[in-house]
Structure 1
Amino acid sequence: MSGTQAPLVAFEGVQKTYDGETLVVKDLNLEISKGEFLTMLGPSGSGKTTSLMMLAGFEVPTHGDIKLGGRSLKNTPPHKRDIGMVFQNYALFPHMTVEENVAFPLSVRKVNKSEQVERARKALDMVKLAGLGSRRPAQLSGGQQQRVALARALVFEPQLVLMDEPLGALDKQLREHMQIEIKHIHESLGVTVVYVTHDQSEALTMSDRIAVFNDGIIQQLASPSDLYENPQNSFVAHFIGENNILNGAVESIDGAFCSVRLDSGEQITARSVNVGGVGARTSLSFRPEKVDIEGVGPDHPNRLPARVRETIYLGDHMRVRMQVAGNDEFTVKMRFRAGRAVPRPGEEMFVSFAAENCLALDPVA
């Protein structure tokens, strides 16, 4: 949270259990600023959706408190929280027109009919559905139905909008298009959004900050670029983007860097991010685009022999799958350049990487 402005949303020591024994959310402390787009990202069962449902009022914390605008939500029912909701299944009323669906939150709030119509049409125009207000939801495509659900969540101008896997039912191309649309709407309105997804590329595209959940705990909370470039543990490194892993033990530590002896015998220098000390096991993390496979002299400090297993053409780059230091699935993204030879399966060569692009993290079991 930037500056000294009070957070719009604050989770304070929140825990949740359904059976009295297993904590689905273990100890959630999280502040969300007004106007922020925060994504709760994690695998199924990580606690992200439960956290969102507690904020919405559909689940009750077992312990701790959730505050909205500085006020506890403990005794506030969902319909009085001034929160808009967008679900994956849209939850539109099939017997109502599109315009009536969008106006529904206004009718519940006793807004007069003429203002309902005006605000509903304005909201539909905002999501690029002007002129479709008289149709029924069944007459719209999936992407159009999702836009209606978004317009309905925004029409009463809530201070907070919650989105639970809202694009999960759409095809890849439409999903990517809607990501940008939602981001633009957020930027133009300045509304605060809390977004839940298991799709890391979606989170990277849309968010101001991402809270990475696993096992009921936030593993790391940071901007998309910081999460990708500086993961603080092996789970985050694996879950955000593509990643290569080599295992070894720490031989020495010198400031921000350490020397690691790989299980295959080679010694390399890595950035010391999350290691237990000299002698401790560590897993080294490499992004495929940060590894080079050509033009490296024999004296380069981080240079490992490799055997090409497979090359895959992907238009703007080539994915080269290699055998490196006992890892048969080591991947390098190789950009095409004029005159650059394409590696052939079975070819023996070397891979190299700068020490700052090799992260020494907690060991992967």
Structure 2
Amino acid sequence: MKLPVSASESFVEFAGVQKSYDGEVLVVKDLSLRIRRGEFLTMLGPSGSGKTTTLMMLAGFETPTSGDIMLDGARIDSLPPEKRNIGMVFQNYALFPHMSVAQNVGYPLKVRGLPKSEIAERVAKALDMVHLGSFATRMPGQLSGGQQQRVALARALVFEPKLVLMDEPLGALDKQLREHMQMEIRHLHERLGITVVYVTHDQSEALTMSDRVAVFNAGIIQQVAPPAELYESPANSFVAQFIGENNRLPGRIEAANGTLCSVVLANGDVVTATLTDAARVGEDCLLSIRPERVKIAPPGGPLDNHFEAVVAEMIYLGDHVRVRCVLDSGADVVVKVGNVEDRPVFSVGSRIPLGWRAQDCRALDAA
């Protein structure tokens, strides 16, 4: 696991940045964030969470209300977008329909006044990079959505920018093509070693592509961490809910012993869980357990928590069966049961034993 980014390692830095459009409501609140050179960082969050506004401030299309934005050690708050040497890829591609693929890709070099021979050489290299070397003379209208997105990516990379920003670049593509392009962009990042700041509201996309993910909500970063840490150790109930599927059981923390705590559910059942910084003894909390960590297992095994439940619903999803159960407390618990030969046999209405380890169950804030 990488340690937090130090000032000396910082390539992009937001220091106390705030943004308001009307002088009253802050859409970005006291943002402090450091990004390493060569890192792929994704800003993830629901609509209106501040992630796109943050990206636009970094690009130069929006101005911070207060705070500083640094790029490679220099303040860029007052620099216009064209002076920042930053590549940008948008969701709608923003290709010029009257220009060929080569002309679109070469446009950033043309406005910089490079000679035609160098433009041709760089354009050919950029198109080969995105596997479109034979498409130079085609027009954007002759391309598929995925091909247009590759052209937009080549255009963002052709002038060798310090930084590439991507704003929901795959949002208009279908699921299969989107997943393919996720890996293409990830592999391109690995080959070139460029710094990428990526915005999405799709949590699976963020987990697939990123070195680290910054989760936004209501203008505030809730947690910045590598994908595995976000999923396995969410800092609060919002992150747990937003990243992946999550069982949530309300309760109250009665006691703690080191990293473990005892949580009493509404019906009096007691759950042993991992205590986090988001919860306190004597306060209400929300228990977070991932569906794949809930086991159908009788008491007496290596699990710390054992309960009885009634199967309420079963959904076949190919590689696994999604089983929704109801505990005696009345709470719903979803279990992912692998579609393997020796999986337990039961049906809707069956009463089954459930359990999970304390380390897989986190006590988070009640909010």
TM-score (structure 2 length as normaliser): 0.96
CA distance in 1: counterparts of 2:67 and 2:112, whole angstroms: 30
Q: 1:105-129: CA deviations, max 9, x gaps? A: 0001111101111111111111011
**1:112 corresponds to:** 115
**2:50 corresponds to:** 47
Contact 2:254 2:261 in 1 (8 A): yes
**2:15 corresponds to:** 12
The root-mean-square deviation of aligned C-alpha atoms, in Å, is 1.5
CA distance in 1: counterparts of 2:170 and 2:181, whole angstroms: 8
CA distance in 2: counterparts of 1:265 and 1:299, whole angstroms: 23
**Superposition deviation, residue 310 in structure 1:** 1.1
Task: Specify the SS of the correspondent of 2:222.
Answer: strand
**Superposition deviation, residue 76 in structure 1:** 0.8
Does 2:258 align with 1:251?
no
Q: 2:90 aligns with which of 73, 87, 92?
A: 87
**1:78 corresponds to:** 81
CA distance in 2: counterparts of 1:276 and 1:294, whole angstroms: 29
Q: 1:275-297: CA deviations, max 9, x gaps? A: 54332101000000000012443
**1:321-340 to 2 correspondences below 5 Å:** 321-326=324-329, 329-340=332-343
Q: 2:223 aligns with which of 214, 220, 224?
A: 220
**Superposition deviation, residue 305 in structure 1:** 1.5
CA distance in 2: counterparts of 1:347 and 1:313, whole angstroms: 17
Contact 1:37 1:208 in 2 (8 A): yes
Task: Specify the SS of the correspondent of 2:207.
Answer: helix
Q: Which amino acid aligns with 2:212?
A: R
CA distance in 1: counterparts of 2:301 and 2:61, whole angstroms: 61
Q: Which amino acid aligns with 2:312?
A: R
Task: Specify the SS of the correspondent of 1:95.
Answer: coil
Inter-CA distance 189–276: structure 2 relative to 1 (3 Å threshold): closer
**2:131 corresponds to:** 128
Contact 2:5 2:34 in 1 (8 A): no
CA distance in 1: counterparts of 2:174 and 2:56, whole angstroms: 25
CA distance in 2: counterparts of 1:2 and 1:68, whole angstroms: 14
Inter-CA distance 110–325: structure 2 relative to 1 (3 Å threshold): farther
CA distance in 2: counterparts of 1:280 and 1:299, whole angstroms: 28
Name which of structure 1's ranges 185-194 and 320-329 shifts more when overlaid on structure 2. 320-329
Name which of structure 1's ranges 35-44 and 307-316 shifts more when overlaid on structure 2. 307-316
Does 2:149 align with 1:146?
yes
CA distance in 2: counterparts of 1:362 and 1:74, whole angstroms: 36
Q: 1:35 aligns with which of 20, 33, 38?
A: 38
Name which of structure 1's ranges 269-278 and 355-364 shifts more when overlaid on structure 2. 269-278
Task: Specify the SS of the correspondent of 2:353.
Answer: strand
Count of residues in correspondence between the two structures = 364
**Superposition deviation, residue 356 in structure 1:** 0.3
Q: 2:264 aligns with which of 261, 266, 269?
A: 261
Contact 2:97 2:141 in 1 (8 A): yes
Q: 1:300-319: CA deviations, max 9, x gaps? A: 64111111011111121111
Contact 1:161 1:192 in 2 (8 A): yes
Task: Specify the SS of the correspondent of 2:135.
Answer: coil
**1:343 corresponds to:** 346
Q: 1:219-239: CA deviations, max 9, x gaps? A: 000000000000010000000
Q: Which amino acid aligns with 2:197?
A: V
**2:178 corresponds to:** 175
Identity %: 61
Q: Which amino acid aligns with 1:190?
A: G
Q: Which amino acid aligns with 1:176?
A: E
Task: Specify the SS of the correspondent of 2:29.
Answer: strand
**Superposition deviation, residue 205 in structure 1:** 0.3
Inter-CA distance 339–223: structure 2 relative to 1 (3 Å threshold): closer
Task: Specify the SS of the correspondent of 2:343.
Answer: coil
5+ long unaligned stretches in structure 1: none
CA distance in 2: counterparts of 1:231 and 1:300, whole angstroms: 22
Task: Specify the SS of the correspondent of 1:131.
Answer: helix
Inter-CA distance 341–24: structure 2 relative to 1 (3 Å threshold): same
Contact 1:120 1:155 in 2 (8 A): yes
